[in-house]
Amino acid sequence: MPYEKIAFLADQSESAQAAQKELAAHHNVVPVEQADVIVTLGGDGFMLRTLHRYMQLGKPFYGMNRGTVGFLLNNFEGDHLLERLASAEVAMLNPLRMRAMREAGTEQAALAINEVSLLRQTRQLAKIRIAIDGRVRLEELSCDGILVATPAGSTAYNLSAHGPILPLTANVLAMTPISAFRPRRWRGALLPRGVQVRFDVLDHYKRPVSAVADQTEVRDVVEVTISEASDITLRLLFDHEHNLEERILNEQFIP
């Protein structure tokens, strides 16, 4: 489809601001709500923040790298943007929905495009019980933490924690422990994308735990449930030679 009305969003870096000014001078720039496509200029962190802020609009996102890593982004070029948008490939992503119950009895919900992670708040190991679709699968995991990652997020924190890299079409989620102490040999699990995960924090007064959905942190949690937000679909546009599926595949062969 043609993407003629464009909203350009840039982070505060000098290179991103300069790129926005250059592109805005040659295209039909409109507010985000009126745009056919949202073009971000920055790094992966800025793209994630933009996705969280505007995902409810249902518009496609095309990112150009003016940051560092750029895993969710295309290379920056000032020319031929309309042609690149017209020929771009679409990656469809569903975020995770986290519901975290605090020790005080209040609940907070948040969405995660990359992962939901539970992390110990003090020097004490966390102790966490794991249930899948209401059935307890692991009575007690002693660890620094644990995370559930989407395929798109499997190359982020999940990879640093030695979790598996997941192709977008795998239809699974990665559950990966962070510095597991007991069971010592447990390395995590691959879960069907439609399951509901529940983490119960054991001995939470002595061993407090925080839950983090991308950039949203909830401290002193006692129970966290995670499921795929199938009602929300994100559309990310990629140049053919830099599509997300190919990048995920390439990551598995980097020495």
Can you give the pLDDT of all 255 residues of the chain as single tens digits? 678 899 999 999 999 999 999 999 999 999 999 999 999 999 999 999 999 999 999 999 999 999 877 788 999 998 999 999 999 999 999 999 999 999 999 999 999 999 999 999 999 999 999 999 999 999 999 999 999 999 999 999 999 999 999 988 889 999 999 999 999 889 999 999 999 999 999 999 999 999 999 989 999 999 999 999 999 999 999 998 777 888 788 888 877
The single residue listed with the structure tokens 């489809």 is 1
Q: Which residues contact 199 (CB under 8 A, 6 or more apart)?
A: 118, 128, 129, 130, 131, 146, 211, 223, 224, 225, 226
pTM (whole model) above 0.75 = yes
What are the residue boundaries of the structural domains of the chain, listed by start?
A: 5-93+233-251, 96-228
Catalytic member of 11, 44, 200, 214: 44
The number of beta carbons lying within 10 Å of the beta carbon of residue 65 is 23
User: 96-228 sits in which CATH class?
Assistant: mainly beta
What is residue 170's predicted lDDT score, i.e. its pLDDT? 85
Give just the sign of the alpha carbon dihedral 14, 19, 20, 21: positive
Cβ-in-10-Å burial (0-12, 13-18, 19+) of 85 comes to buried
- Are the C-beta atoms of residues 166 and 172 closer than 8 Å to each other? yes
Distances 146 to 25, 135, 180 between C-alpha atoms, Å: 46, 18, 8
What is residue 86's predicted lDDT score, i.e. its pLDDT? 93
Half-sphere exposure of 157 (CA within 13 A, CB side): 24
Which CATH fold topology does 5-93+233-251 show? Rossmann fold (3.40.50)
* Residue 44: active-site member: yes
What is residue 1's predicted lDDT score, i.e. its pLDDT? 61
What is residue 245's predicted lDDT score, i.e. its pLDDT? 81
